[in-house]
Amino acid sequence: MNLIKPKKLEKGDTIGLLSVSGNVSDIESINRAERYFNSLGYKTFISDTTYKTCRYNAGTDSDRLKALHDFFLNDYINAIVCTCGGYGVLRIIKNVNYDIIKNNPKIFCGYSDITNLLLMIYKRTGLITFHSPMASGDFGLENISKFTEDSFLNALTINDEKTFYADEYGQILKSGKAQGILWGGNLATISSMVGLDFIPNEKFIFFVEDINESAYKIDRMLTQLFNVKNFSDNIAGIAVGIFSGVDNIDFVQEVIKEFAEKYQIPACNGFKISHEYDKFTLPIGLKCIFSADEKSIQIQETPFIG
């Protein structure tokens, strides 16, 4: 695949705050996020879908699809940070005009339900995307996580953080080292895409997280993915994030360890990839080296042009 790399975020650039999934329940959080980015020297532009509601979505499917296309077409916007997840991207994913995105590449950020877009944009265009915090639940907090802030700004502006380490509680589930592109996100969202052409045709290090899912459901979703030939053939390692609110985390670790043993791939948990307060910003699609023994993900190239 021919990679497309966006331009690095510079002071004075405009960050578009895009609502393309669930409806925004706390508008004041968007106002706080806007003030936060303005305080750092960035301009902001908020999508009109942020103020719309259609059932549980930020406007109708056509509203959200148009907002996505408009943000990529708008030369005034240099980077896109989604406002929140929830549910809704899957409803529009097959109608996205990926030529618009390919011809107007820019930083695109989000997690949770936005995982659908992160992975499909990479698959269909080659554009590096970013699994990152979002406007409402992260930058719209009254007290923003310093860890989250530093990782985000480093990833999009400085880009000198090349290695991501598991925390002190990280455990080796299957020893070893592997290479591939960094790829993954929210498990429930990824498993919902089975049936679409979204899995890389190259070796990848799978990073994964989720929230409020039972252990048996996590087992089922992982099994569903490993039953897809392209997934089981190309997965080279598993970097396990945080499964918040799970009923039995020991069962989850056992299941992941079983898959790692079956497919003979390294696995390690403890990475700050999650719905929690502290989270990494990770580039999707870049070559990396994953070491379960060193509990690390080492990025091998820059995500930006120039």
Buried b (16+ CB within 10 A) or exposed e, 143-166: ebbeebbebbeebbeeeeeeebbb
168 as an active site residue: the answer is no
pLDDT at residue 105 is higher than 80? yes
Q: What is the CATH number of the domain that holds 248?
A: 3.50.30.60
* Same domain (yes/no): 123, 176: no
pLDDT at residue 202 is higher than 80? yes
Q: One of 19, 112, 192, 291 is an active-site residue; which one?
A: 112
Structural domain boundaries enclosing 258? 163-299
Predicted local distance difference test score (pLDDT) of residue 160 = 74
Domain end point (choices 158, 178, 197): 158
Query: How much is the average pLDDT of 284-303?
Result: 97
Domain end point (choices 114, 141, 158): 158
* Same domain (yes/no): 98, 192: no
Please name every residue paired with 80 in a beta bridge, in sequence order, or none if there are none: 16, 108
pLDDT in tens, 159-199: 776 899 999 999 999 999 999 999 999 999 999 999 999 99
Whether 9 is in a domain gets the answer no
131 as an active site residue: the answer is no
Count: domains in the chain: 2
* Same domain (yes/no): 207, 289: yes
149 as an active site residue: the answer is no
